[in-house]
Amino acid sequence: MKSLIDSWQFWAVLSAIAAASTAIFAKIGIANIGSDFATMVRTVVVLVALVLIVVVTGQWQPLSSVAPRTYLFLILSGLGTGASWLCYFRALKIGEASRVAPIDKLSVVFVAILAALFLGERLAWINWLGVMMIAAGAILVSLKL
């Protein structure tokens, strides 16, 4: 039987909790500095933490063991992450965290669409209904009435 720690759902929920704390901590942290500088500080913290985790857990591997195609897609992913973080911190600097975060989570909708188009992933109609509800919910939460 699969343990909780081996389930993707467990890690996805932890990711959501961590992301929620990120929004709150970031909104407080960028109060008196530029959003791009704040993103740089955050990135340095993430880099140092990940190097420590990889080294301590014995996951370091020779850089030559990674295929060029893998590097290409990891670099593209990193550029996407960087762009996302810069935009997210800029949005947090200007807007309310309770409205910025739900719009940021429209990434769930975009991932579902792009995974279907480019990765051949198939969602059932009930899954697409959920995707549409996420989109509608994000838009409704972002409205200021």
Segment 24-37, tens digit of pLDDT? 999 999 999 999 99
* DSSP states of 47-69: HHHHHHHHHHTT----GGGS-HH
* Ranges of the chain with pLDDT below 70: 1
For residue 5, the model assigns a pLDDT of: 86
What phi, psi does 117 have (nearest 5°)? -70, -45
Q: Angle at CA 135, nearest 5°, toward 104 and 95?
A: 35
* DSSP states of 57-100: TT----GGGS-HHHHHHHHHHHHHHHHHHHHHHHHHHHS-HHHH
> Of 77, 103, 82, which is closest to residue 23 (Cα–Cα)?
103
From the number of C-beta atoms within 10 Å of its C-beta (0-12, 13-18, 19+), residue 140 rates as exposed
Distance from C-alpha of 32 to C-alpha of 24, rounded to nearest angstrom: 15
For residue 145, the model assigns a pLDDT of: 83
First to last CA, the chain: 49
Which residue type sits at 70?
Answer: T
For residue 142, the model assigns a pLDDT of: 87
For residue 1, the model assigns a pLDDT of: 60
